Structure formats: structure tokens, C-alpha cells
Copies of this chain bind each other. A is one copy, B any other.
């Protein structure tokens, strides 16, 4: 019966280069969180169900409930991980830029290219009815909008103007995400896309005239 003859005896038993099969995954909580985020990016939070997720990882839910108390616990952990990574990305790559106009421009350009965190953001926008999602998305969105408003203020706009412009820019961001990633409007080719981004930058970042 036992077919593990070729398995345990070969000294250190290297990681089975061949038979693929089960691979003995041995998952950790972080693996589940990562898999959940992947699933959110691909199919939305609604697709994050325990049993399908377990099937995807070639285990059963008996495994899952060892690592997490419930589905919601997994979701909260995954969201926490994602939010943390998102904030760090902003602080590392954009915030150091001194000139506010350059900072805004780079923020727009960066956002238009880096995808993963925005794909998840877009997917989560469709599940705001979930109690764990709402507060995370609200924090994150307000933080970003305020970040924009501060930059616009530094460009010389009044408080109200800066706030309005920040809202407008962020709305355009959110809407574009939804139109492209969820609604799947006919995908623009690379050239057209760059043209659009340039248009947005020109339209939403006040010109040099102070």
C-alpha cells in the first residue's frame, strides 16, 4: 500500500524534482492570506470562499481552520497585509519627491503603470458591503485624497479648490479603474493609453501659471 518508498529514504529527500503530485505544500497563515489576495485580484472578494480556496491550494478546509478562526478572520488579515503594503509603496516611491508638481505627475504616472495594488483596490470597491472592507477602503481612500489635496495646496490652490481638485482627480482614478478592470471597456493600445494619461495630467495638474 504505502508508496512512500521513494520518498522518505533518500537521505534529505530533495524537493521531488519530478512527480509534481502533491508537493507536500505545508502552508502557513501568510500563504493563505497571499492566496486570498490573489483570488481577490482575479475574481473579487466574493470568490474568497474557504472550500474553493482550499481546492486551489490542493488542501482541504481542515487545514484552513487550523490557521484561521473563520473566513472573516482570513479576510481581515489579508486586507491588513494589503493596506500595509500599499501605504509603504506610496511612502517609499512618491513621497520623497520634493517639487509638488513633479510629485503629482509621478504619482499619476506611477499609478497608471503599477497594477497589482490597484487591481485589488478595484476589486474591493465591489464588495464595500462587507463590514471588514468598508473601513479599510475608507481609510485608504481618504488618506490618498488628502495626500492629493496637500500636494495641490502646495501648488498654490486655495483650500477649497485643492480639496475639490483632489476629489476630482481621485474620482477619475477610481472611475477609470472600474471602467477598465471591471467593465472591461475595449482595451486601449499602449500608445492611446499613454496619450490618455498625458491628457489627464495636463487637465488635472494646474499649468505653470501660478
Q: Give me the interface of A with B, judged by CB distance under 8 Å.
A: 43-44, 46, 125-129, 134, 137-138, 141-142, 160-161, 164-165, 167-168, 170-179, 182-185, 195-196, 199-200, 203-204
Contacts and interface: CB of A to CB of B under 8 A. Distances in A.
A170 B160 contact: no
Nearest to A177: B175
Max chain B CB contacts within 10 Å: which of A43, A125, A170, A171?
A: A171
A127 B129 contact: no
A202 to B, nearest CB: 9
A183 B138 contact: yes
A117 B56 CA distance: 39
A173 B196 CA distance: 17
Contacts of A177: 175
